[in-house]
Structure 1
């Protein structure tokens, strides 16, 4: 698996209207974020030490999932790209309220939508809200299809820690 490097840099590509992460001359990650969703349009902005640390935190949190190296890397890079996203209003009405539980940054949680639980990763805590990355697609309570790797801001009472038996690979 690739590891963060000071040679990685963020760039906004107007032609694709996407935030990109230049990893090497042969490899580039294209995020889901368009210009309208960005707080800034970086040009060759190097990956920071804080972003590199966040990458490892995201990777450690996602490690228990049954993912390929490519899938794990993709989710980590989407989680990093979320740092450039404008903060949106919370979308808590998309999900059912759950029993109160303390959740922390980098924690795997589940949200309850129309057809059951949807796994997510807490990217950032902000008071009683949390920004989360959806790890699979799923339906909101109203039936709206939410795409995998969407970034949603939710009230904490919509998040529940994932039980070990859910979504995790079984270890021998």
Structure 2
């Protein structure tokens, strides 16, 4: 996985209308967050700070057990850092997700599940504002929110915390029949 360093730089590419991260050595990462969801300071050049590196490490550690290729994990972690630093505040869109029987307070970078009427998907928590959390989809398959709207990998949505149960990792154990 990528190792952050002090030469990394955030910048906005007008030609692609996207936030980019210059990783040095002629490598550039294109952030998945649409320009309309970025705060104004994302349109300026910004250094990749020590705080960015720390948050990157937090996300990287928290998503390590997800069933994703290494490159996709790096993509998810970098998009999560960009969202934590440059995503505009947004109103919750909780109506797409089923209410849970008990309240839950997710932590930064925690993997959680969100369930719609048609399916369930894993998300990582980008920010918890107390009653609601900004979450980023962490699965490659799309998730239908309703009959006309769906989410894809690295899309963000804010939901009330009463819609968020903790993710319970399934352990696959081999069983042998004896006898």
Match of 1:162 in 2: 167
Identify the match of residue 128 of structure 1 among 108, 131, 138: 131
Scaled by the length of structure 1, what TM-score is found? Answer: 0.90
Q: Mark the structure with the bigger radius of gyration.
A: 2
Q: CA deviation at 1:69?
A: 1.5
**1:83-104 C-alpha deviation (Å, 9 max, x unpaired):** 2111111110111111223322
Counterpart of 1:28 in structure 2 is: 28
Is 2:100 aligned against 1:95? Answer: no
Contact 1:8 1:47 in 2 (8 A): yes
Any stretches of 5+ residues in structure 2 without a counterpart?
174-179
TM-score, structure 2 as length reference: 0.87
Note closer, same or farther for the CA distance 1:36–1:143 as it changes in structure 2 (3 Å cut). Answer: closer
Note the C-alpha offset of 1:37: 1.6
Structure 1 gaps of 5+ residues are none
Question: 1:79 and 2:80 equivalent?
Answer: yes
Q: What is the Cα deviation at residue 25 of structure 1?
A: 3.6
